[in-house]
Structure 1
Amino acid sequence: MAEMMSGLESALAEASSPSWAQRVRAGRDLASFADFHEAADALVGLLLDAKDTAVTRQTAEALARVGTVAAVRLIALAVAEADDHQADWLQTGLHDALVGPDGVLDIAAICGQLARDQDEAVRQGAAEVSAWMDGTRC
């Protein structure tokens, strides 16, 4: 457990790095910690990275591959806050995860659950992600 927590701490430190490559790595590393509050805030920041679209795209892909309700909820939150450009890269990251070798994730079903979330932004983002899934069956 201590080793896992040190992995979380180092990934959190990388999330605010000036290096886009370190931020991409942080997004991948933090995805498995999506249900931890500390990681969730950093992940939404990475999904909405203002400096590099690779960070947005690869963090979205990593979270989609994790495929938990907590992970998809963060994508939905980011989608609700994203501008059109960021939303395009979030959608691309989801698409990357769905067409990959193990792209059997049921993001749409999770979005159905999130449609009843207490947070309006999550419900809004989940509806948008669901629409993406309907339009791009892989």
Structure 2
Amino acid sequence: MMSGLGAALAAASSPSWSQRVRAGRDLASFADLPEAAEALVGLLLDVGDTAVTRQTAEALVRVGTVAAVRLIALAVAEADDQQADWLQTGVHDAFVGPDGALEVAAICGQLARDREEAVRRGATEVSAWVDGTRC
């Protein structure tokens, strides 16, 4: 399993957008590991291709852990307007039904009390996106 992590970490810095997309998907389940978390935030804020941003956000929401959603919140706090739009699209893409939105909303509620201000700010934004999908 760790060899898969190593390969995904290497792919995260690939010049190929499709390899970076695959890395985002593969690393999402390792969101709680510091080395994967750092690479995932980089992929969420990818300046080379919006597909990397979108699909990494989708993969993290599908994992659905606090660690995964926390990385999206961190990225949202640092994102420019275009990146934020693609992060939001990726979050929305992950919702198969209203239950997914409810889980992310509950996690955002937890993250609203995070020790890092950037996480709290990003979680508030993601929560607003989620609320918009449940209307």
Gaps of 5+ in 1: none
CA distance in 2, matches of 1:121, 1:73: 10
CA distance in 2, matches of 1:23, 1:134: 29
1:68-107 equivalences in 2 (<5 Å): 68-98=65-95, 100=96, 104-105=99-100, 106-107=103-104
Report the Cα offset of residue 104 of structure 1: 2.7
**Alpha carbons 2:12, 2:39 under 8 Å: kept:** yes
Match of 2:12 in 1: 15
**Alpha carbons 1:53, 1:89 under 8 Å: kept:** yes
**Alpha carbons 2:12, 2:20 under 8 Å: kept:** yes
CA distance in 2, matches of 1:46, 1:104: 26
When normalised by structure 2's length, the TM-score is 0.96
**Alpha carbons 1:80, 1:125 under 8 Å: kept:** yes
When normalised by structure 1's length, the TM-score is 0.94
CA distance in 2, matches of 1:111, 1:5: 29
CA distance in 1, matches of 2:126, 2:134: 12
CA distance in 2, matches of 1:28, 1:22: 10
Q: Look up the equivalent residue of 1:12 and give its one-letter code.
A: L
**Alpha carbons 1:64, 1:72 under 8 Å: kept:** yes
Q: Could you report, residue by residue, the CA deviation over 1:56-101 in whole angstroms, capped at 9, with x for unpaired residues?
A: 0000000000000000000000000000100000000000001x3x
Gaps of 5+ in 2: none
> Taking every aligned residue pair, what percent have the same amino acid on both sides?
81
RMSD: 1.1
Q: How many residues align?
A: 133
**Alpha carbons 1:97, 1:103 under 8 Å: kept:** no
Q: Secondary structure at the match of 1:32?
A: helix
